[in-house]
Amino acid sequence: MIDYLDKAARLIRESGYTVAFTGAGISVESGIPPFRGRSGLWSRYDPKVLDLDYFYSNPHDSWVKIKEIFYDFFGKAQPNPGHIALAGLEQKGWLKSLITQNIDNLHQEAGSQTVWEFHGNSQWVVCPRCGARHFATEIDMSELPPRCHEDGSVLKPDFIFFGEGIPREAYDQSFAAARKAEVMLVIGTTGEVMPASMVPYEAARSGATIIEINPETTPFTNQITHIFLEGKAGEVLPELLARVRQLPVD
Ligand code: APR
């Protein structure tokens, strides 16, 4: 019987360049619901609240929902053992960088250093006119929408809305890392959102071994995944880190 966890650990240990690609699933055990599926955010909220055009034409309605989802809720979440294990792999040099679709800042709070935020970060809000950037916790959200002190414009969370371009550096660095990857860990994502979902395909096309961690199969599983580790990130990743550590030094 092949021990896939062991096989995955050996591949990571032998790899000269391992990259992780994460989605909402890695933060589920921190109390943040995924976007899709029965218990997903999009089963309770209309995704239009994160549509850029809708946001600018309905700033109050959008902000009421955005505050509820991303500020009243997200702010309380803590990194879980899955985030911490990835930071541990990086610390030991077994993981070179981490590409995340998440905007919750939990990878950084867990200690990860090289994190490419493909969809931005909810910790900041920006003025679309003067560019002023504020820490979200410093903004008075008792009256919505919050406005720029300089020019009164509606402030926008510094994460990527539907219909908005991906931050240039995060985009370029993510695809560069995907092309260099010998191993890519694909963790907790359905891969339904473009262009982020192209990152694992780019890695596979460049010869990387794809190790997927998810309690459910995804479109990646039958197309590019070499090793599928069925389970929760907060349970599988610490075990994987322990196995990599246990392997004898070459
Ligand atoms: N550990 C690992 N994976 C999990 C866990 C867990 N504990 N719980 C759920 N999952 C998996 C689900 O099976 C699903 O495959 O996480 C995935 C979550 O998928 P989505 O909700 O679609 O999230 P994601 O792929 O990150 O969405 C991409 O969509 O709405 C936009 O901008 C938003 O970045 C987001 C993008």
Mean pLDDT of 180-194: 97
Q: 40 CA distance to ligand 1 centroid (A)?
A: 9
> What's the CATH number for 1-32+78-119+166-246?
3.40.50.1220
Q: What is the pLDDT of residues 84-138, one digit of tens each?
A: 999 999 999 999 999 999 999 999 999 999 999 999 999 999 999 999 999 999 9
Q: Which residue lies with its CA nearest to atom 26 of ligand 1?
A: 23
Is 134 among the catalytic positions? no
Say what the pLDDT of residue 121 is.
96
Task: Pick the closest to residue 185 from 218, 216, 209 (CA basis).
Answer: 209
Q: 192 CA distance to ligand 1 centroid (A)?
A: 9
Q: Is the peptide bond before 145 cis (omega within 30 degrees of 0)?
A: yes
Q: What is the pLDDT of residues 3-35, one digit of tens each?
A: 899 999 999 999 999 999 999 999 999 999 999
Asked if pLDDT for residue 250 goes beyond 70, the answer is: no
- Which one of 119, 134, 149, 226 is the catalytic residue? 119
Measured CA to CA, the distance from residue 131 to residue 110 in angstroms comes to 29
Q: Give the atom of ligand 1 at the shortest distance from the alpha carbon of 29.
A: 7
Who lines ligand 1 at CB under 6 A?
Answer: 23-26, 28-29, 34-36, 40, 101, 119, 188-190, 192-193, 213-216, 218, 232-234
Instruction: Tell me which of 1 and 128 has the higher pLDDT.
Output: 128
Mean pLDDT of the chain: 95
- Domain boundaries along the sequence of the chain: 1-32+78-119+166-246, 41-73+129-157
Classify residue 139 by its DSSP letter. S
Token pair recorded at residue 104: 């919750």
